Structure 1
Amino acid sequence: MRILRVAQDIFPDKVGGAPYHIHALSRDQAEMGHDVTVLTVSNDQSLPQTEQRAGYTLVRLSPRIELFGNALFAGTVKYLRNAREYDVVHAHSHLFSSSNLTAAYSRVTDIPLAVTCHGLMSQRVPEWFSRFHLNTVGRFTYNAADVLFSYTALERERLRDLGVSSDIRVIHNGIDVDRFTPVGKTYDRITDATGPAVVFVGRLVEGKRPRDVLKAFQIVQDNIPEAKLFLCGDGPLRDKLEQIVERENMRESIRFLERVPYQEMPAVYRAADLFVLASRTEGFPRSVMESMACATPVLSTRLEQTEQVIEQAGQTVPVGDTTALAEAMSSMLDDRDALRKLGQAGREIVMREYDWSETVEQTTQALGTISTSTPSQQQVDSDQAEEQVIPAGSNTEHEQ
């Protein structure tokens, strides 16, 4: 198949679960023999507008305007005019104007369109605006899709309640279970510290509620003074969080790891005794599944998308309840045997239900059902691409 993927963010230009998902899916589909082009946005003039990366073609367009981190590409419509050169267009998330515009263009031209829902609510904008956008532009975008991918059956129900009538396929957000394992190197900056280690992984933004993690950890230290908290990530709240740590004289117990290269993330999870997430909303966070794959238990806020899975391998508490978060953190760190059993349970769940190779296979098969190319033409395209594709072991991509 010839696939045009439209995505505002892509790894490693941008870090995060969705950007990495888009990159890895494009990489692996290219390795399968498909011709993949990714249309994205970048204002970094040092990067080429077009490049070959990990077997797929990456096209960067300049942002024309940006609001709440949502960029409208300059030249998007002009590029979409060539969309008929592709068998299918795959857009990502209703939260980005590029996906909304792609949906509108697809409606007019009848180009086969797939859309992946990476979560219904945004962490970048006020909640009222996110709900308004979902019930208007978001619903339009999803109804324009010939096939819509959601991570969970619950998310599919929410989309139906929203009034989305498109064909919805539930495809789990899988993890590379060969990379994220309990056995292997651990992260020195964590293992060199004494005491139980708690790790937060994510962007330092309001939606992730990292201040709740700091406040809860202060309470934990009353019971477990030797415990350490490691914040892995960066973002606009970094300075404010550092000021809190300095003001509360917690520099020795709370440490900022900033951005850790993605290839080193398994070592971070392995070194931790507990992974904590305090978000007010999430899609199906990759960091949770990566932690579980490494047999590191999870403590998270109670989010309907993830609650059922996490409570089989950790604990959940109400959003914004820092006292409950602290109590759960303390009780989990106090029972080492229970932590070990929760970690093993998490690894088993990911191995059984969230293997990344199945995510790629199921997504590719679904795209094939709406593709304009015939099965015989797809085989011809695949055979031709196999002669050009970069072998899996020879590409030099840098992942994060």
Structure 2
Amino acid sequence: MSESAAITIVEHLDPEHMVPSGIDTIIHDFVRFSSASFRFVGVTARPNLDLGVWTRVQVASTECEFLPVARFDRSIKGSKFRVPHSLRFILGLIRYRKRVGVGHFHAHRVETGLAISLFLRGTFSQYIHNDSKGLLGQHSDSAWQKLSGFYRAIESRVIRNAHDVAIFNKTDAPRLQIMRSDVRVARTWYDPAVFYPPDDRPTDPRVVAWVGRLDDQKDPWLALDVARTMKARASTWKLQMIGDGPLRSSLEAVVSREDLGEYVTFSGALSRSEVGGHLRRASAFLMTSHYEGSPTVLVEALASGLPAVCTTGSDPDMVLQEGVCGIRVEDRTGDSLLSALDNVSHYEIQDCVQTVAERSARKSVEKLLNFSDLT
């Protein structure tokens, strides 16, 4: 495949409504920062957009071809009795597979990679994002948690059949490299036009930013434990929780019931530029995840000059340099995390920025895509 040929991204995402986190951010930046051309096979929430018909949409200020194969709003999670989004997308992909054509495809979930290998004509690159132990573990809200054996079987087949494989998880990579020696270890990046440091760090009030989806994987309940400790200590810290998700109403109810409103603010889902602005106005960054892949948001926070306090599961890439830009905390308690926040509050802005200086999007995206592999 030449550099001028379009790569077709096949995923259950809506290219007209991409969210600033995870897989969507990776794909958005593929379009923005690479020299390749991209097409999309995905989903739409628009009632007037015909399924199975190629159209054109704007992604990262670039006009791309788009084939919607299923219709639903990804932000609305169905009940446990409804067909999962990924399955609805794959059923649509099978229905309209002849309209996709031959080419090179990108898959960012193993079930998508399996569908490509079975139903589409061409080659595909497989990207794997999460630590599989976390994805299949007790704190996962993924449907794969109850189907771990099936997931492993799909993963094994996809890794064997893919043209190339990249995993955004340093800790899980050795397991995949036993199956296939040329599996590449990928790492996330930041957009320097959006995430950059302030001239000075604000000190009053001291705001700690938490950014992520409000679900079990990210463990926002642990962040509320930090807020409880703030209240108990009459701390000068305030917690800002940026993001949305299925736990939001329950979290807000606890904040109201326990009178934590003075210490916790829910900002909802924001654009990447809005997140960048809030990070520059904060004094520190907090991650409480049970598990991660290669968390983009941590790199973005450091690029914004914020020292970070993370649970050990939040930093599988070991980005944090202890004593320089942050602290990893094994003890999952509000007391331990708040004490760590007090300790990092004096860390220098430029030391945090320097930690991720080599992870700018322009350099990272081109290196990852490595188009010479497709020639």
TM-score (normalised: structure 1):
0.77
CA–CA separation in structure 2 for the residues paired with 1:185 and 1:9: 38
TM-align CA RMSD: 2.9
- Verify the 8 A CA contact 1:148 1:166 in the aligned structure 2: no
SS in 2 for 1:281: coil
- Verify the 8 A CA contact 2:41 2:67 in the aligned structure 1: yes
Shift of 1:71: 3.8
SS in 2 for 1:257: strand
Match of 1:317 in 2: 329
Structure 2 regions of 5+ residues with no counterpart? Answer: 73-77
Partner amino acid, structure 2, of 1:90: H
Match of 1:114 in 2: 125
Establish whether residue 135 from structure 1 lines up as the match of residue 169 from structure 2: no
Match of 2:57 in 1: 52
- Verify the 8 A CA contact 2:117 2:161 in the aligned structure 1: yes
Establish whether residue 104 from structure 1 lines up as the match of residue 112 from structure 2: no
- Verify the 8 A CA contact 1:120 1:283 in the aligned structure 2: yes
Task: Note closer, same or farther for the CA distance 1:179–1:262 as it changes in structure 2 (3 Å cut).
Answer: closer
Match of 1:290 in 2: 300
SS in 1 for 2:28: helix
Task: Note closer, same or farther for the CA distance 1:305–1:202 as it changes in structure 2 (3 Å cut).
Answer: closer
Match of 1:384 in 2: none
Match of 1:346 in 2: 352
Match of 1:278 in 2: 288
Match of 1:124 in 2: 141
CA–CA separation in structure 1 for the residues paired with 2:87 and 2:56: 21
Establish whether residue 27 from structure 1 lines up as the match of residue 27 from structure 2: no
Task: Note closer, same or farther for the CA distance 1:326–1:81 as it changes in structure 2 (3 Å cut).
Answer: farther
Shift of 1:75: 3.2
CA–CA separation in structure 2 for the residues paired with 1:333 and 1:218: 15
Partner amino acid, structure 2, of 1:22: I
Establish whether residue 38 from structure 1 lines up as the match of residue 40 from structure 2: yes
Match of 1:89 in 2: 105
CA–CA separation in structure 1 for the residues paired with 2:275 and 2:56: 26
CA–CA separation in structure 1 for the residues paired with 2:304 and 2:147: 33
Establish whether residue 149 from structure 1 lines up as the match of residue 166 from structure 2: yes
- Verify the 8 A CA contact 1:6 1:98 in the aligned structure 2: yes
SS in 2 for 1:8: coil
CA–CA separation in structure 2 for the residues paired with 1:56 and 1:356: 20
- Verify the 8 A CA contact 1:230 1:254 in the aligned structure 2: yes
CA–CA separation in structure 2 for the residues paired with 1:71 and 1:44: 19
2:338 pairs, out of 302, 311, 329, with: 329
Match of 2:267 in 1: 257
SS in 2 for 1:309: coil
Match of 2:17 in 1: 13
Task: Note closer, same or farther for the CA distance 1:335–1:99 as it changes in structure 2 (3 Å cut).
Answer: closer
Partner amino acid, structure 1, of 2:106: H
- Verify the 8 A CA contact 2:321 2:355 in the aligned structure 1: no
Partner amino acid, structure 2, of 1:100: L
SS in 2 for 1:284: coil
Aligned residues: 347
Residue deviations 1:119-161, cap 9 Å, x none?
A: 1333432674364343122222222211011235433213235
2:362 pairs, out of 357, 360, 384, with: 357
SS in 2 for 1:316: strand
Match of 2:75 in 1: none
Task: Note closer, same or farther for the CA distance 1:158–1:284 as it changes in structure 2 (3 Å cut).
Answer: same
Residue deviations 1:3-52, cap 9 Å, x none?
A: 111122256624222112112212333xx2x3310111234425676323
Task: Note closer, same or farther for the CA distance 1:243–1:46 as it changes in structure 2 (3 Å cut).
Answer: farther
- Verify the 8 A CA contact 2:217 2:291 in the aligned structure 1: yes
Match of 1:61 in 2: 69
Shift of 1:77: 2.6
Identify, as 1 or 2, the structure richer in helix.
1
- Verify the 8 A CA contact 1:197 1:230 in the aligned structure 2: yes
SS in 1 for 2:171: helix
Which fold has the larger relative contact order, with Cα–Cα distance below 8 Å and residues 6 or more apart in sequence?
1
- Verify the 8 A CA contact 1:223 1:330 in the aligned structure 2: no
Partner amino acid, structure 2, of 1:180: F
CA–CA separation in structure 2 for the residues paired with 1:274 and 1:76: 43
1:300 pairs, out of 301, 310, 317, with: 310
Partner amino acid, structure 1, of 2:117: A
TM-score (normalised: structure 2):
0.82
Structure 1 regions of 5+ residues with no counterpart? Answer: 372-400
